Amino acid sequence: MRLDVGRSALLIVDVQNDFCPGGALGVPDGDAVVGPINRISRRFRFVAATQDWHPADHVSFAASWPGRRPQDRVESNGVEQILWPEHCVQGSAGAAFHPGLALEPVGLILRKGFHRALDSYSALFENDRRTPTGLDGWLRSLGVERLFLTGLATDYCVRYTALDAIKLGYRVAIVEDAVRGVDLPRGQVASVLGELRGLGVEFRRAAELED
């Protein structure tokens, strides 16, 4: 497909060891996104990669809430929070990008979720839906109008990034063979993809974007 490289950006969402098979929050088949991402990333002039970067006592960790377990829901400062196992702790091997991910094309690495009391699924806003991450400013300074989303996980961080991007006026495309989802409860990924299609999100295959 014809790609307007001056107005498009590739966003690589959370392709980190803890979200890949064997990690603390491994997404089934999550490492399968690496190949498609590597094949298309050099086609883009602007590439950003996000990285969950949690302090050891982060609000999203079940261990930070005595008596609570992963998948429990709590409220913190007026924001509903799903609890997870400890993952992507700052400086840990689990927080590192997957070793096969080509980082040479990446112009911006954006760390999110580093506020102890506030989680961040979206690459554009923290989970309070008000606090910006700074990515929008970077994209607008470059004249980007269209975002191609890849990474992990379809039904969480990719979904919320897409929703926020739409609200901010970006055209959004998901590279469907370069994303994978948690799919809990079962069927959640299909529901999310249907939701995004209904909002006008495009779906592309990596082969359409290769040289």
Which residues carry out catalysis?
A: 14, 112, 157
Among all chains, which residue has been given the structure tokens 């080509």?
Answer: 102
Q: What is the DSSP letter of 71?
A: T
Instruction: Give 123: exposed, middle or buried? Use CB within 10 Å, 0-12, 13-18, 19+.
Output: buried
Strands 202-204 vs 171-180: parallel, antiparallel or unpaired: parallel
Among all chains, which residue has been given the structure tokens 């702790």?
Answer: 89
- Mark out the alpha helices in the chain (DSSP H runs): 34-41, 135-141, 159-167, 188-198, 206-209
How is 123-159 classified by DSSP, letter by letter? SSB-TTSSSB-SHHHHHHHTT--EEEEEEE-IIIIIH
Instruction: Give 186: exposed, middle or buried? Use CB within 10 Å, 0-12, 13-18, 19+.
Output: exposed
- Whether omega for the bond prior to residue 185 falls within 30 degrees of 0, making it cis, is yes
